[in-house]
Amino acid sequence: MEVVDEGSDGRVARVSLLRTPLFEAHRAAGARLVEFAGWEMPVQYEGIMAEHAMVRERAGLFDVSHMGQVEVRGPRALERLQWVTANDVSLLADGRAQYSLLLAPDGGIVDDIIIYRQQADRFLVCVNASNREADVAHMREHCAGADLVDRSDEFALLALQGPRATEVLGELTDTELSEVSSFAFVDATVAGVSCLAARTGYTGEDGWELYCSAASGPALWAAILDAGRDQGVGPAGLGARDTLRLEAALPLYGHELSLEVQPFEARLGWVVKLDKGDSIASAALRQARERGPERKLVGIEVPKGGIARQDHALLDGDRRIGTVTSGTRSPSLGKAIGLGYVEPQLSRVGSEIAVEIRGRKVPARVVALPFYRRPD
């Protein structure tokens, strides 16, 4: 696929997109392919609604090989990661993973990441595809003294998510998966393929993210789909991934998170561990915490009259109070939901506000997050 990129001089360039090791499998499955962060990715196979329901009720397999992986090694790896990220990396043991943020000196969010501690002096950092280059540059600048290797191209990354994920994967490995807790990971052989198998995900369901070599990605993909077929498990695209993560109120970089957003505004105060010692943004974040946020991320519901979408204005009467960052019709709940930033005094659950949809003021309400929580 080519993307037509119109430059500021009006000249049109055709840009080839990157493809994951599973590209041919997607094409063979009849996926609809779209551009995402410079990659040609499957947005859907059967349809977003069907794939969304499949993940909630059974399980779905996602190709997220476009995501980046940066290895941080050496005697100063821990110290440098502590410096550049928000969470306390020293809390990690071998085989444990942590959600965190790469921060700029002013507290802005460079990326949201997962850090896997493989050994005391070896960490794998999983980053968003859209930020990979910026992240690597940022880490090179602020992690001097640690060995940094961008290993993104070496990996395929498959995510099997949903209530049947562990059962389906269990058929393909001798590893006792039930002993691996949430945000833990193990080295496992799945369908003959060596993997880092992590109990993490981005859908609000139980599930696994499997890092394997790029070359063995297609075999692993096919084996999981074979094992899951009887259970109603199939491939799921980025469209369903987006509706699933939004229902679970998981932020997406470029929507809820950016360099202009600070963690306390984005409901990510729990990630910020200021007591771990000085770090790149600790001075800015201490100030920000004392001052209190100027805006807060909230969940909104639009009972009728339209669907709130990214960039729609949020209003209190006729006064602009914020902006929608993500919005869709929730397939699980059957109503329009969204995330957005509003002034703190209107962030309380139950606040009656409005969203401007195509020039019309449509009533909306601030609701508790997440929109969807999986049954115990």
Partner 1 sequence: MEFPDDLKYSKEHEWVLVEENVATIGISAFAEHQLGDVVFVELPATGDEVAKDEAMGVVESVKAVSDVYSPVSGEVVEVNDDLPENTELVNDDPYGDGWMVKIEMTDPTDLDDLMDCEEYQKFCAETSG
Q: Which helix (H) or strand (E) holds 29?
A: none
Stretch that binds partner 1, among 167-175, 188-196, 228-236, 237-245 (CB under 8 A): 237-245
Q: Does 362 bind partner 1 (CB under 8 A)?
A: no
Output the CA torsion 327→256→160→27 (10° steps). 70
Cα(277)–Cα(287) distance, integer angstroms: 15
Given the complex with partner 1, which of 300 and 336 has the nearer CB atom? 336
Given the complex with partner 1, which of 278 and 311 has the nearer CB atom? 311
Determine which residue in the list 76, 122, 151, 329 makes contact with partner 1, applying CB under 8 A: 329
In this structure, are strands 234-235 and 60-63 parallel, antiparallel, or unpaired? Answer: parallel
Stretch that binds partner 1, among 168-176, 258-266, 275-283, 325-333 (CB under 8 A): 325-333
Give the tokens for residue 37.
């962060």
Q: Does 242 bind partner 1 (CB under 8 A)?
A: yes
Q: Does 331 bind partner 1 (CB under 8 A)?
A: yes
Given the complex with partner 1, which of 286 and 335 has the nearer CB atom? 335
Q: Return the bridge partners of 85, or none.
A: 102
Q: How far is the CB of 50 from partner 1 (least distance, A)?
A: 8
User: How many residues are present in the chain?
Assistant: 376
Q: How far is the CB of 356 from partner 1 (least distance, A)?
A: 14
Q: How far is the CB of 327 from partner 1 (least distance, A)?
A: 10
Residues ≥6 apart with Cβ < 8 Å to 26: 33, 42, 45, 63, 235
Sign of CA dihedral 265, 266, 269, 273: negative
* CA end-to-end distance (rounded Å), the chain: 42
Residues ≥6 apart with Cβ < 8 Å to 11: none
If we measure between CA atoms, which residue out of 87, 154, 78 comes closest to residue 123? 78
Determine which residue in the list 44, 82, 87, 262 makes contact with partner 1, applying CB under 8 A: 44
Determine which residue in the list 220, 236, 272, 307 makes contact with partner 1, applying CB under 8 A: 307
Helix (H, G, I), strand (E, B), or coil: what is residue 245? helix
Q: How far is the CB of 74 from partner 1 (least distance, A)?
A: 43
Number of residues that bind partner 1 (CB under 8 A): 17
Q: Does 361 bind partner 1 (CB under 8 A)?
A: no
Determine which residue in the list 31, 48, 84, 102 makes contact with partner 1, applying CB under 8 A: 48
Stretch that binds partner 1, among 113-121, 160-168, 236-244, 292-300 (CB under 8 A): 236-244
Determine which residue in the list 218, 306, 344, 370 makes contact with partner 1, applying CB under 8 A: 306
Determine which residue in the list 18, 29, 37, 49 makes contact with partner 1, applying CB under 8 A: 49
Q: Does 47 bind partner 1 (CB under 8 A)?
A: yes
Cα(221)–Cα(64) distance, integer angstroms: 12
Number of C-beta neighbours around residue 111 at 10 A: 25
H-assigned helices in 47-110: 48-57, 77-84
Residues contributing to the site for partner 1 (CB under 8 A): 43-44, 47-49, 52, 239, 242-243, 306-307, 309, 328-329, 331, 336, 358
